[in-house]
Homo-oligomer: A and B are copies of this chain.
Amino acid sequence: MRLIADVKNANAVLQWDQETYLPTKGAAFRGQQISTLSEISHRMFSEDELGNLLQDLISKENLSPGQKRNVEKTYEDYLKNKKYTSAFVRKLSEQVNKAFHSWMESRKQNSFSVYEKDLDSLIQLKRQEADILGYEGHPYNALLDEFEKGATVHLLDKTFANLLPPLKNLLDKILNQPPVDSSFLKQQFPKQKQWEWGMELISRLNFDFAAGRQDLSEHPFSVSFNRNDVRITTRIDENEFGNMTWSCIHETGHALYEQGLIEEEYGLPLGEACSYSIHESQSRLWENNVGRSKKFWQSFYPLLQTYFPGQFQNITIDQFYSGINHVQPSLVRTEADELTYHFHVYIRYELEKKLLDGTIGSHDIPRFWNEHYKKFLNVEVPNDKKGCLQDVHWSHGSFGYFPTYSLGSFYAAQFYQTAQNEINNLEIDIESGNTVNLLNWVRQNIHLKGRFYTSEELCKQVTGSGLEVNYFLNYLLDKYVSIYNL
């Protein structure tokens, strides 16, 4: 399993490089190299000999609970992997590469049509993949399960049905109040200065630079090659302060999880993150529950003012806090506030369901997108770049990924409430800029558990109950009642 992990992680290095430093003409061969490594790791992970070894191990009596879980989860992954042919793995990887590059090109040209055909071929392959994996009910269930074990259209429909009406209700109330001022976030913030600020920020959040690095890329992301080499990226908009800052905190949240996994379990389930939604809970917890709280900025705002004295000298911490929590329906998911964010996810979720069951096709995406943004957020999409071309995910073949973003926020709220109950003086810590106790708490309760539990099991283990959307709704309500005087 460690050899397989080596190949997969080597492939992750190639992908990291592709999105940070790859020269333009290198794209085609790089795609081919990535496909070859994907094919090799797939072949290694579906060899009969490995299957036999795993079956032998499963029947062993004297395994520790951790060993038992490692064997069971690995066998589960093995059986799933075995369903794919090498040819399909290669085909999918090659199509992802094609789609990724035409997505990049379509963004340059600001036109979805450049991307439509390659995306369509990819969607066909994802439908085939759903058939290969098998599913009950909706074909999308097969893909959801890839990102979130046990997630189904049925469960997610129910979750969103519980969430959206109160969220809409809260949004309407907020929009009826006088808007808070966030215009000071849209001044000129020089690139180099932002970079230095971001580096100090993530360092203070205990990102370990001896075991990772930050670089620039078109689309911020985090990737891990092992717990001692975790890479994050960000992007800098000189005319907007928030963009880079909270992407730094977000990706640091992911990175702290990876840097907190168990070294000795490299390549084994206990050395891996629990799930996509739990991963996202860690980025959201730091980005929002911590990073958009007033307590956090008590110590960080004075520091920030030393980086941008001109821009922030006349802005009080209260104004700053309100501004960074400003609610406003908008076009771009990654720049959305914590409330409207989930409408962005919901629209993508609805779209993916329909793409997967064939109700709509690739060419319908811009129309569907724009109509739903109008309907749910009452915004007009001016062009594809600010519309359906904004996310990289589909070009990576990641259908079923978006819902984990919402689940991540919900888990984050539930975890953070628990942390607040369990850690003495957490609020005082945070006010003084000390997040080590919180980090140790998530390390102990979440990171070090690896993939021992499912998301739901872990949530019960940590918080005493399964996922409940109310934690998140209460968290939002608390925040906005005070900011908007509701």
Interface residues of A (CB under 8 A from B): 2-3, 6-7, 9-11, 13-14, 17, 21-26, 28-30, 32-33, 35-37, 40, 208-213, 215, 225-226, 228-229, 266
Interchain CB contact under 8 A, B29 and A266: yes
Further pairs besides A7-B36, A7-B37: 19, Cβ < 8 Å: A6-B32, A6-B35, A6-B37, A7-B40, A9-B29, A9-B33, A10-B37, A13-B13, A21-B213, A23-B209, A23-B229, A24-B210, A25-B210, A26-B225, A26-B226, A29-B226, A30-B225, A33-B225, A40-B40
Q: How far is the CA of A21 from the CA of B214 in the complex (A)?
A: 10
Interchain CB contact under 8 A, A229 and B6: no
Interchain CB contact under 8 A, A228 and B23: yes
A–B Cβ pairs within 8 angstroms, 27 of them:
A2-B32, A6-B32, A6-B33, A6-B36, A6-B37, A7-B40, A9-B33, A10-B10, A10-B14, A10-B33, A10-B36, A13-B14, A13-B33, A17-B17, A23-B209, A23-B229, A24-B210, A25-B228, A26-B211, A26-B212, A26-B226, A29-B226, A29-B228, A29-B229, A30-B229, A33-B225, A40-B40
Q: How far is the CA of A225 from the CA of B27 in the complex (A)?
A: 11
Contact of A10 among B11, B28, B266 (CB under 8 A): B11
Q: How far is the CA of A10 from the CA of B13 in the complex (A)?
A: 9
Given A7-B40, A11-B10, A14-B10, is A228 in contact with B26 using a C-beta cutoff of 8 Å?
Answer: yes
Q: How far is the CA of A211 from the CA of B213 in the complex (A)?
A: 25
Interchain CB contact under 8 A, A212 and B6: no
Contact of A210 among B23, B30, B32, B40 (CB under 8 A): B23
Interchain CB contact under 8 A, A23 and B226: no
Residues of chain B lying within 8 A (CB to CB) of residue A25: 208, 210-211, 228-229
Q: How far is the CA of A7 from the CA of B36 in the complex (A)?
A: 7
Residues of chain B lying within 8 A (CB to CB) of residue A14: 10, 13
Interchain CB contact under 8 A, B22 and A229: yes
Which of A2, A40, A229 has the most C-beta atoms of chain B within 10 angstroms of its own C-beta?
A: A229
Which of A21, A28, A33, A213 has the most C-beta atoms of chain B within 10 angstroms of its own C-beta?
A: A33
Residues of chain B lying within 8 A (CB to CB) of residue A11: 10
A264 to chain B, nearest CB (A): 12
Secondary structure class of chain A's binding surface, majority of residues:
helix
Nearest to A16 among chain B residues (CB) is B17
Interchain CB contact under 8 A, B211 and A23: yes
Q: How far is the CA of A9 from the CA of B6 in the complex (A)?
A: 15
Closest 10 interchain pairs by CB? A26-B229, A6-B36, A25-B228, A29-B226, A25-B211, A6-B33, A25-B210, A24-B210, A26-B228, A10-B33
Residues of chain B lying within 8 A (CB to CB) of residue A28: 228
A113 to chain B, nearest CB (A): 25
Contact of A23 among B13, B26, B212 (CB under 8 A): B212
Residues of chain B lying within 8 A (CB to CB) of residue A26: 211-212, 225-226, 228-229
A414 to chain B, nearest CB (A): 32
Nearest to A22 among chain B residues (CB) is B229
Q: How far is the CA of A6 from the CA of B14 in the complex (A)?
A: 11
A8 to chain B, nearest CB (A): 10
Interchain CB contact under 8 A, B3 and A36: yes
Q: How far is the CA of A35 from the CA of B14 in the complex (A)?
A: 16
Contact of A17 among B6, B13, B35, B210 (CB under 8 A): B13
Q: How far is the CA of A225 from the CA of B10 in the complex (A)?
A: 14
Nearest to A266 among chain B residues (CB) is B29
Residues of chain B lying within 8 A (CB to CB) of residue A36: 3, 6-7, 10
Residues of chain B lying within 8 A (CB to CB) of residue A228: 23, 25-26, 28-29
Nearest to A259 among chain B residues (CB) is B25
Q: How far is the CA of A128 from the CA of B7 in the complex (A)?
A: 28
A47 to chain B, nearest CB (A): 13
Interchain CB contact under 8 A, B266 and A213: no
Nearest to A29 among chain B residues (CB) is B226
A337 to chain B, nearest CB (A): 34
Q: How far is the CA of A23 from the CA of B258 in the complex (A)?
A: 15
Q: How far is the CA of A2 from the CA of B31 in the complex (A)?
A: 13
Residues of chain B lying within 8 A (CB to CB) of residue A35: 6
Nearest to A35 among chain B residues (CB) is B6
A195 to chain B, nearest CB (A): 15
Which of A17, A29, A209, A225 has the most C-beta atoms of chain B within 10 angstroms of its own C-beta?
A: A29
Q: How far is the CA of A393 from the CA of B47 in the complex (A)?
A: 38
Residues of chain B lying within 8 A (CB to CB) of residue A30: 225, 229
Which of A21, A212, A215 has the most C-beta atoms of chain B within 10 angstroms of its own C-beta?
A: A21
